[in-house]
Amino acid sequence: MTSVLITGGTVTTASEQYVADVFLDDGVIVQIGANLQVAADTVVQAEGQYVIPGGIDVHTHLGETVFRTITADSWESGTVAAAFGGTTTVVDFARQEREGMSPIEAIEHRRRQAESQAVIDYGFHLMATNLDSQEYLEELAALPGEGVTSFKLLMAYPGTMMVDDLTIFRAMQVAADTNAIVTLHAENGHVIQQITDQFAAAGRVQEHMHMHAHPHLVEGEATHRGIAMAEMAGSAVYIVHLSSRTALTEVEAAKARGQAVYAETCPQYLFAAYEDYENAGFEAAKYICSPPIRERANQDELWRGIETGALSVIATDHCTFRMQDDLAELPPQKPMGKGDFRYIPNGVPGVENRMHLMYQGGVVEGRYDMMRFVDLNCTMPAKLFGLYPRKGIIAIGADADVVVWDPNADYTIEAATHHMRVDYNLYEGMQVSGRPSTVISRGEIIVSGEEFLGQIGRGQYIRRSTPYVLDHPQSVTAR
Ligand code: URP
Ligand code: ZN
Ligand code: ZN
């Protein structure tokens, strides 16, 4: 294993900033200090640049069979794209995909898919769809000991991924007993279905109508219900892809009560808006995801949630489908829903641009400082999902997942040059300041400027430990 010395950069963690050299050897950070006198195989000069922990994206869907198709980004293309954007770890999903697939089988199935392709490190949230048997509940309870310390449940997509409240509550009780965290897709799937059916009966299924089938309150109600169930079970809860001020209000109220409640939002809810696709015809399919990308006025509420700390994490929900069915290796993509939003696979790309966008919108535009940027994109994801302090920090002994971030490099986001295997970019033509100049994963330089240097399949599965969450009260229900 080679050694790397990063000289003269501004080391930035979630809580401090100072100029120092950082020496990486054998995959870990071994020395940090001024003018280190060490012999290194490679020297990276970082004067005038930030030296930050590798980004951690805790919400991706790579190579996933979903919405009657498969996501365009495989484990290979998705993790290469992530690396170019400064992300060195993803936590994706292992879903119980079919009747008879147990929680442990779901994890093993996804590990087999990822292991030969991933170029950065990865873990899985167990996405439970069936906890009806004692056997499955026992397997779920065993998972945290095996390094799977988060369970995902969906309150939407009836007939496929949606689970009932009993399943959610059971998972929360297991999480409470095993110090895991439950993550929720919080939308009321029954209400969405009913509104959608009524739109269909009235012939109102044009692409942009997707948003109208997902009003703010379906998210607010489910968020409230999920938080209340977590309080009754005594578990920590994390709301994924929070998109609406109504849901944000629920998170704020729970936090104010001292409950262990956390939430992420995603760049698409901060940088894109309903007005961008309202009159776009099939082009609107680019924006279709759930919860939907909402009115522009909603963006300010989410930025406020980031500023107050109600939103703790930025993740992407990277779930890509192409706008053209032009790759033989992929089943039909967005075009399968042309003219009818009910058949458009839900999801948008983002893994490559998360840090570009959040640096631009946060640091460059003056909403927060560089330490908060690190906290949102690297440290809090690591803490909440049991990767900290192995990842998410520049500290001696931590994995040498390090990004040298050049604040002065200008970058234009565009599909023609991005590395995601999707034929559009939601932020096409947007100019940002700041991008990674060097990306290092466990001590190996995997991206240098425009060049990818990593080996396909070098990424490692990470057994995660206990999430750092607030002490939460014991279950408020008797057992
Ligand atoms: O539209 C979305 N978000 N697609 C991915 C699946 C999910 O709900 O996270
Ligand atoms: Zn979701
Ligand atoms: Zn998702």
**Which ligand sits nearest to residue 319's alpha carbon?**
1
- Please compute the mean of the pLDDT values over residues 254-261 and round it to a whole number: 96
Name the residue of 91, 317, 426 whose CB sits within 8 Å of the most ligand 1 atoms, as the mutation to test its pocket: 317
pLDDT of residue 382: 98
- In terms of Cα–Cα distance, which of 312, 278, 309, 279 is closest to 292? 278
Strands 42-45 and 313-314: unpaired
Check pLDDT > 70 for residue 473: no
* Residues measured by CB to lie within 5 Å of ligand 2, the ion: 185
pLDDT of residue 153: 98
Residue 238 to residue 222: CA distance in whole angstroms: 13
Structure tokens at 369: 């400082």
- Please compute the mean of the pLDDT values over residues 403-408 and round it to a whole number: 98
Q: Which atom of ligand 1 is nearest to the CA of 61?
A: 5
Query: Which residue CA neighbors atom 8 of ligand 1 most closely?
Result: 290
State the distance from the centre of ligand 3 to the C-alpha of 63, rounded, in angstroms.
Answer: 13
- Please compute the mean of the pLDDT values over residues 121-136 and round it to a whole number: 97
Structure tokens at 104: 């442990």
First-residue to last-residue Cα distance in the chain: 52
- Please compute the mean of the pLDDT values over residues 442-469 and round it to a whole number: 97
Please answer whether residues 162 and 290 qualify as being in contact, where contact means their C-beta atoms are separated by less than 8 angstroms.
Answer: no
State the distance from the centre of ligand 3 to the C-alpha of 479, rounded, in angstroms.
Answer: 33
Percent with pLDDT over 90 in the chain: 97
Structure tokens at 49: 């640049």
Query: Which residue CA neighbors atom 9 of ligand 1 most closely?
Result: 317
Residue 325, judged by CB atoms within 10 A of its CB (0-12, 13-18, 19+), counts as middle
Query: Which residue CA neighbors atom 7 of ligand 1 most closely?
Result: 290
pLDDT of residue 479: 76
**pLDDT tens, residue by residue, 169-192:** 999 999 999 999 999 999 999 999
Q: Other C-beta atoms within 10 Å of 217: how many?
A: 14
Show the ligand 1 pocket: residues with CB < 6 angstroms: 61, 185, 241, 289-290, 317, 319, 346-347
In this structure, of 320-329, 425-434, 470-479, the range with the lowest mean pLDDT score is: 470-479
- Where helices occur in 213-336 by DSSP H, the ranges are 216-233, 245-256, 267-271, 296-308
Residue 146 to residue 104: CA distance in whole angstroms: 10
pLDDT of residue 276: 98
State the distance from the centre of ligand 2 to the C-alpha of 355, rounded, in angstroms.
Answer: 21
pLDDT category of residue 338 using cuts at 50, 70 and 90: very high
- Please compute the mean of the pLDDT values over residues 297-318 and round it to a whole number: 97
DSSP for 385-419, written as a single string: TT-TTTSSS--TTSB--EEEEEEEEEEE--TTT--
What does the chain come to in residues?
Answer: 479
- Please compute the mean of the pLDDT values over residues 19-27 and round it to a whole number: 98
**pLDDT tens, residue by residue, 73-108:** 999 999 999 999 999 999 999 999 988 899 999 999
Query: Which residue CA neighbors atom 4 of ligand 1 most closely?
Result: 347
Residue 54 to residue 51: CA distance in whole angstroms: 9
Query: Which residue CA neighbors atom 1 of ligand 1 most closely?
Result: 289
**pLDDT tens, residue by residue, 346-379:** 999 999 999 999 999 999 999 999 999 999 999 9
Cα–Cα separations (whole angstroms), residue 192 to 117, 154, 215: 36, 13, 8
Cα–Cα separations (whole angstroms), residue 73 to 114, 286, 332, 350, 475: 12, 15, 14, 11, 40
